[in-house]
Amino acid sequence: MSLKNLKNPGLWLTLVVVFILGVIPIINNKASAREETLTVLLSVILVSSLNILLGYTGYISFGHIVFYGMGGYVGLFLISVYGWSLWTAMVAGGLASGLLAFLLGSAILRLRGSYFALATIGINEAMRAFISNFEPFGGPTGISLNFQVYNQYGGAAQALWTIYYVVLALALGNILLSYVVKTSKFGLGLQAIREDEEAAEVMGVVTPSSKTWAYVLSAILPGMVGVLFFFKNGNIEPGPAFRLHLSIELLVMVMLGGYGTIAGPVLGAFGYQRLRGLLLTSDLFKNIQLTVAGVLLLVIILFIPSGAVGWIRHRFPVTRRYLP
Amino acid sequence: MILQVSGVSKRFGGLQALSDVSFNLEEGRIMGLIGPNGAGKTTLFNCINGVYKPEEGRVVFRGQDITGSKTYHVAKMGLARTHQIVRPLNDLTIRENVIVGACFGRENHSLGGAEKIAEEVLEFVRLHERANQLAGSLNVGQKKRLEMARALAARPYLLLLDEVLAGLNASEITQMIGIVRDIRERGTTIIMIEHVMQAVMNVSDDILVLDFGKQIAFGTPEQVANDPKVIEAYLGDPTLAAELSGKKSSA
Amino acid sequence: MDILTFLVDGLLIGFVYGIAAMGLTLIWGVMNVINLSHGPIIALGMFGIYFAATSLGVNPYVGVILVSFAGLLLGMLIYAIAIHRVINAPHLSTLLATFAVNMIIIGLGTTAFTTSAYNVDFSLGNISVGPVNTPTTRVVAALASVLVTGALYFFLYRTTLGKYVRAVTDNRAAAELMGIPSARILALSFGLGTMLAAIAGGLIATFFPFTILSGGAYELKSFVVGVMGGVGNPLGALIGGLILGTFEGVIPAFMPTSWVPVLEFILFVVILLVRPTGLLGAKK
């Protein structure tokens, strides 16, 4: 709300925890730990940006990953064809995703409930199929970067570290952003839409523009980190860039942590990625990793549908003030 | 003249929900909107505040034509309403519910300003002690008062109340009528749909009677209660007819 | 091949798309649940007739009948375990619950069958009519689809249970007041939906190779077809399937095949936007 709300202990606790976890690989100077944490931080960014649309506004998107892929494509295109620097390309990727969200949102956000969810699946698939045919973006083979491109960032090894710092900063920034949005007047309007869209309109919430801006806000950061991730990868292809499965994993992470909260998505991203890592490295579960994750998801949906943080908030109402 | 409704008609498929409804409402008055179930009362509200766009006719609010305007535009111009079936924002607190009303209503407050209004309005409807509770946890009577509080927080010029007395017990009804009167004292014009006949006859300055979508009477409570067409419309419902004539004899 | 052959091939497959979509929209229409485990169940139908043919040595079409009963039971089981508890919860819960089932099936399926391709070794030769020459299995699949549609209509409109299903679709609360056991009817409806998915998978497996992941593509097609035909409208789904099949058959004559999905999904989103009740209207 006002600045006094920035004193919320739950927000700072979340930021401090993410910061400490993010700094550990830097202190230890270990590349393997860095890669692990990077995956988690990317998830944190994707999940808490999705939360703006899903958790605050109540619109279920199965196509959040579109913005990640779109940003990645625009960024790599600008870097490889026009020789842009990574940082300007990153901003351009974010803006491109924001613009895409604006155009899509103006059209599809008037669909409600399952219809919106289905439209986002359609868009995800249409986008992947379209990019596979779009020659400037390399069609089915995508875009690959020349290895020398890393030289201007101090070589590949150094570039990976630099990208890591930026991702950490963006993750912290995104947590702050989602908190500011939630506690703003704009965010209150979004939550009113989530609870009852018609009642919100009757109270004067201008729903079409509110929803569209929520969509745009949720798209920009995924676009930016899409550029960073695929730059780090050195190439981008339609399949990995628009993987429907990843969008759904993001939904799982939101549910796991508790949707509509600040700490929930962060917890969900950490929890899910950690669990996935454990299952993938365990001999016993390696093969049925997906099944175990599915059972876990089902148990959460059936028995603690508001997620970990939501559950705590419900069980102990006192904590509502401290767990934004 | 705060509201001019002229020749409003609304159809749903083959059903003529409203036909040619016209009335003028002066500022500062309470108008009762009565009629048997299915007479089109809520539909008239929906046509006034933009939920439905009438096929014919015009709605002019404070000199501006708002026929078919979006609900949120109408809300921002100073027209607030409550719903017959309450629609609380369940997962928000009672205070937050009211803040939404103040933030997005006519005066377009910031969160800080809205919070002050919320305190005041919640005290007015006697919900201030529960301000931090979730709206979903209230009982029906309290939810009705919350609806009212949300609408009031918008500081509307005109307030549409859809059956705020239904489902309340006797003491709650008295309390609610007190609130309605106080709102008018503060200068807000009110239209209220009501089935509790004695209450609406008592509190209203004007009464509009709808039957099968048609306007069959408009006038003071006395005029309406004596109108043969009104009595006929209510004959199907002997208790209501009795209530009407009871009012007549006491008047 | 000429365009006529493409057209006929597309049309014949369209019938199968139709019953796959029918399964999806039956569930959607009755209980407002979008079944994201639809694809894996289609894939299970494929494996079902494969194992019926290889292990039991039965004719694949007998296999389809066995698979349809297995599909019915599996669906009712899924409903009881994963759906019933959240049937009245917000959309997200049912979407994710069915997706959890999807993950469980795909995970177990991958462990059991890996993701390599299987093939039911079966052929009935080809049928030639004029310039058109097409595998007989496709013709049989199309005929079977018509039969299944007819059976579904018979069930819904001529039997008491079917009447209950329609009553629950119309208004679950009112149906309960009339003494209809809505939980059992919902379970049955879900079972019917998965039964149709399994049959579709079984029929597809008689002419295409498949993997455990193959169902995904048909699930997406079912969305497209379902939305085209209108939610909960079985005949609409069949017609939608024919339109999609024809579309897929004809498009390659005018542009590279890779553009087909682009057009398909753009069409899908556009239909959602302009006519969310489907081109043929939703059936309540």
Chain A residue nearest residue B89, CA to CA: A195
3 state SS of B59: strand
Rounded Cα gap, residues B167 and B145, in angstroms? 12
The answer, for A39 touching chain B at a CB cutoff of 8 Å, is no
Cβ-based contacts of A255 with chain C (< 8 Å): 92, 96
Of A26-30, A127-131, B226-230, give the lowest mean pLDDT range: B226-230
Q: Which residue of C has its CA nearest to A118?
A: C223
Q: Specify whether the CB–CB gap between B25 and B206 falls below 8 A.
A: yes
Q: Taking all residues of chain A, what is their mean pLDDT, rounded to a whole number?
A: 91
Nearest to C269 among A123, A290, A297 (CB): A123
Looking at the partner chain, which of C101, C265, C276 has a beta carbon nearest the beta carbon of A129?
C265
User: Nearest 5°: CA angle at C249, between C246 and C254?
Assistant: 115
Distance of residue A237 Cα from the nearest chain B Cα, in angstroms? 41
Is residue A260 less than 8 Å (CB to CB) from chain B?
Answer: yes
The secondary structure of residue B202, as a DSSP letter, is H
**Nearest-CB residue to C103 (from A110, A121, A291):** A291
Given C81, C100, C224, which is nearest A297 (Cβ)? C100
Q: Which of A63-67, C45-49, C220-224, C227-231 has the lowest mean pLDDT?
A: C227-231
| pLDDT (tens place) for every residue of chain B, 251 residues total | 899 999 999 999 888 999 999 999 999 999 999 988 888 999 999 999 999 999 999 999 999 999 989 999 999 999 999 999 999 999 899 999 999 999 999 998 999 999 999 999 999 988 999 999 999 999 888 999 999 999 999 999 999 999 988 888 888 888 888 989 999 999 999 999 998 888 888 899 999 999 999 999 999 999 988 888 888 877 666 666 667 665 544 43
Query: What is the mean predicted confidence (pLDDT) over C210-236?
Result: 89
Q: Using CA coordinates, name the residue in chain B closest to A193.
A: B89
Query: In this predicted structure, what is the pLDDT of residue C230?
Result: 82
DSSP string, A86-115: HHHHHHHHHHHHHHHHHHHHHHHTTS-HHH
Q: Which residues of B touch A207 (CB under 8 A)?
A: 72
ipTM of this complex: 0.89
Q: Which of B46, B104, B138 to mutate against chain A (most A CBs within 10 Å)?
A: B104
- DSSP symbols for B81-118: E--SS----TTSBHHHHHHHHHHHSTT---HHHHHHHH
Q: What pLDDT is recorded for position A256?
A: 85
In chain A, what residues touch B91 (CB-CB under 8 Å)? 191, 194-195, 260
The pLDDT of residue C185: 95
Quick check: C118 pLDDT over 60?
yes
- Tell me which residue in B71, B92, B110 faces A202 most closely, judged by beta carbons: B71
Q: DSSP letters along C82-144, please?
A: IIGGGTTS-HHHHHHHHHHHHHHHHHHHHHHH-SS-B-------EEEETTEEEEHHHHHHHHH
Contact A203 B75 (CB under 8 A): yes
> Does residue B51 sit at the A interface (CB-CB below 8 Å)?
yes
Which pLDDT score, from 0 to 100, does residue B241 have? 67
From the list B80, B90, B110, the residue facing A195 with the nearest CB is: B90
Range of lowest pLDDT (A65-69, A211-215, C85-89, C230-234): C230-234
User: Would you state the structure tokens that stand for residue A201, as one six-digit string?
Assistant: 């309109």
Residue type at position A36:
E
C-alpha of C238 from chain center: 10
The per-residue DSSP string of A186-237 comes to HHHHHHHHHH-HHHHHHTT--HHHHHHHHHHHHHHHHHHHHHHHHHHHSEE-
pLDDT of the residue at C283: 46
Q: Record the tokens describing residue C226, joined without a space.
A: 């379902």
Taking phi over 0 as left and psi of -120 to 50 as alpha, with beta for the rest, A142 belongs to: left
Question: Taking Cα atoms as reference points, which of A246, A201, A238 lies closest to residue A222?
Answer: A246
Of chain B residues 144-183, which have a CB less than 8 A from chain A?
150, 154
pLDDT on residue A128? 94
Q: Is A181 on the interface with B (CB under 8 A)?
A: no
Q: Which residue has the higher pLDDT, C255 or B73?
A: B73
How far does CA A308 lie from the centroid of its chain? 19
Nearest CB among A117, A133, A301 relative to C100 is that of A301
* Contact by Cβ (8 Å): B161, B193: yes
| Cβ neighbours around B4 below 10 Å, total | 16
**Euclidean distance between CA atoms A278 and A276, whole angstroms:** 5
Q: What angle do CA A312, A315, A317 make, to 5 degrees?
A: 90
Cα gap A146→C169, rounded to integer Å: 58
Cβ neighbours of A107 in C, within 8 Å: 273
| CB A192, CB A200: distance < 8 Å | yes
- What is the arithmetic mean of pLDDT over A199-203? 95
How much is the pTM? 0.90
Handedness of CA C192, C196, C197, C198 (dihedral sign): positive
CB atoms A203 and B154 under 8 Å: yes
- Say yes or no for a CB contact (<8 Å) between A126 and C256: no
CB neighbour burial string for B227-239, b if at least 16 within 10 angstroms, e if fewer: beebbebbeeeee
Which of A202, A311, A321 should be substituted to probe chain B, the one whose Cβ sees the most B Cβ atoms within 10 Å?
A202
Residue type, C108: L
Over pLDDT 90: what percentage of chain C?
Answer: 62
Those residues with Cβ within 8 angstroms of residue A220's Cβ, 6 or more apart along the chain or in another chain:
A49, A67, A94, A95, A97, A98, A101
- Please choose, from the candidates A253, A220, A184, A185, the residue with its C-alpha nearest in 3D space to the C-alpha of residue A92: A220
Q: Which of A117, A133, A302 sits opposite C86 (nearest CB)?
A: A302
pLDDT value at residue C253: 82
User: Which residue from B minimizes the CA distance to A4?
Assistant: B112
Q: What gap in Å lies between CA C279 and CA B41, rounded to an integer? A: 34
pLDDT in the model for residue C279? 66
For chain A, say whether C113 makes contact (Cβ under 8 Å): no
**pLDDT at C1 (0 to 100):** 54
Among all residues of chain A, which has the CA nearest to that of C217?
Answer: A125
* Rounded Cα–Cα distance for residues C83 and C77 (Å): 9
For residue A109, the chain C residue with the least C-alpha distance is C273
Nearest residue in A to C100, CA atom: A294
Partner residue opposite A185 with nearest CB, options B70, B110, B150: B110
Q: Does C92 touch chain A (CB under 8 A)?
A: yes
Average pLDDT over residues A201-221: 96
Residues 6 or more apart from A61 whose CB is under 8 A from it? A50, A53, A54, A116, A117, A120, A247
**Under 8 Å between Cβ of B146 and B114:** no
Mean pLDDT on A207-218: 96
Q: Do chains C and B touch (3 or more CB pairs under 8 A)?
A: no
E strand map for chain C: 126-129, 132-135
The answer to whether C75 touches C90, Cβ cutoff 8 Å, is no
Please state, in angstroms and rounded to a whole number, the distance separating the CA atoms of residues C190 and C197.
11
Q: How much is the pLDDT for B249?
A: 44
Whether the pLDDT of residue C280 is over 70: the answer is: no
Instruction: With CA atoms as reference, report the closest residue to B99 among B72, B135, B51.
Output: B135
A188 contacts in chain B (CB < 8 Å): 96, 99-100, 103, 111
Residue A282 has pLDDT above 90, yes or no: no
Tokens coding A302: 């059936």
Taking phi first (over 0 means left), then psi (-120 to 50 degrees means alpha), and beta for anything else, what does residue C184 get? alpha
Whole-number pLDDT of residue A4: 54
User: Quick check: A9 and A322 in contact, CB under 8 A?
Assistant: yes
Highest mean pLDDT among A3-17, B76-90, C227-241: B76-90
Planar angle of CA C250, C256, C262, nearest 5 degrees: 80
Query: A204 vs B112: CB contact, 8 Å cut-off?
Result: no
What number is the average pLDDT over the span C111-134?
A: 87
Give the orientation angle of helix A289-303 with respect to helix C91-113, to 10 degrees: 160
- Which are the contacts of A100, defined by CB distance < 8 A and separation ≥ 6? A66, A67, A70, A219
Residue type, B222: E
- A288 reaches C (C-beta below 8 A): yes
CA torsion through residues A315, A317, A320, A322, sign: negative
